Amino acid sequence: MKKLPIVFHKKILVLGLAKSGTAAAEILHDLGAFVTVNDSKPFEQNENAQYLLSKGLTVICGSHPEDLLDEGFSLIVKNPGIPYTNPVVAEANKRGIPVWTEVELAYRISEAPMIGITGSNGKTTTTTLIFEMLAAANKKPKIAGNIGTVATSVAKEATEDNIIVTELSSFQLMGTEDLKPKVSVLLNLYEAHLDYHRDFQEYTDAKFKITQKQDASDWLVFNGEQQIVKDYAQKSNASKIPFYVSGKTKDGISADDLYVYWNGEQLFNRSIIALRGKHNLENALAATATALMMNCSVEAIIQVLSTFHGVKHRTQFIREWKGRKFYNDSKATNALATKSALEGFTEPVILIAGGVDRGHSFDELIPYLNRVKALVHYGATKDRLQKFGEAQRIPSVVSVQTLGEAFEMATEVSSDGDIILLSPACASWDQYESFEIRGEEFINRVISLEE
């Protein structure tokens, strides 16, 4: 871990604890800072605050006092989830006090080079692919950020022999100043998190911070087929590697129906990629380009692409049973995500959908329903899905109460060669606390099927 003179013997406020705030506070304390932590959760119920107090840090819990900044802090490190409209953060900005997220701290203390991945969709899959490719090539990667361990905890232990692969959200990136990944990946930009950001412009500007400090010695891997991403890429000083999934190109990495190309030269057969769907092809190309920039062999890349069947709950292949293949896409909590999953299949699909009715339209699914031979639906949206399925003339539309009943029905109406896909297009909260718990039930039912 690098020393950080900017915080030595300086008063630092850590705003918001949870895992990232607790890790940042402890590291700042170890670096010689005078750390105060402030968290809205009462001290009696706050294990993190109790732990930090035992380490000798100043702890203020239960509220955010109006006079908190009068202590003369030279820096604030805030939890990414705390919005910039928070009174303490807004006042800090007014006073010119720098406000970081812990990702900035992680970058500054890290002895290891960093790879950063962001975008509206596909971050977790791409991050995992890159990590696995680096591991297969014996590059000693560590994984951090929104996926895996808190970035500061990873950076503290990493050496110059490691590579830190970091999934980065707009929340985290907005609080960075000097962040300069060796490779940054910008997958795509769609409207998201507008309850946190003032508008789409602020959201996309936050994403751009992943490459803002890069120079020609660094690389930016970006979506060459989305105009807004291309426009942002032109502002970057990094060496640029676009990816394309609509056909062979002479620059960057591209794919047609048969091959993946590197600067127009055949790299490997596209058929070796185990992941399904256009969106996953984008993720695979972005990961491959990143791995090549980190001197991974093509053999290591192929090894991963041919065996990686998806991140848990994201079009995750579970098993084949009596000629049927089961996929868990419980993370698909809206129609756009389910559309992406359906797009990846040419075989007949038994689609299991349903959950919390958020009032959104299912019309985005219509172009891909020609491959759905049965829709088995359940939960709070079952009446809407029944009408939708019938209106679209899906051959079989079946309504049940629970996911368990839907699973049994889907298995019953399926045939050899079918895909049985859990891709709910709805949130889970009517019957499950999270999409992860929903997905785990599906996985367990698939594994329990007897031959």
**Cα–Cα separations (whole angstroms), residue 319 to 149, 423, 446:** 29, 16, 7
Any binding-site annotation on 334? Answer: no
Any binding-site annotation on 121? Answer: yes
Any binding-site annotation on 16? Answer: no
Structure token digits, residue 275: 């992941």
Any binding-site annotation on 153? Answer: no
Any binding-site annotation on 188? Answer: no
Any binding-site annotation on 41? Answer: no
Contact call for residues 373 and 347 (beta carbons, < 8 A): no
Residue at 197: amino acid letter:
H
Contact call for residues 294 and 139 (beta carbons, < 8 A): yes
Distance CA(175)–CA(78), nearest Å, equals 8
The residue written with tokens 């895909």 in the block is 419
**Cα–Cα separations (whole angstroms), residue 440 to 313, 400, 447:** 8, 19, 10
Binding-site positions: 119-125
Binding-site positions for ATP: 119-125
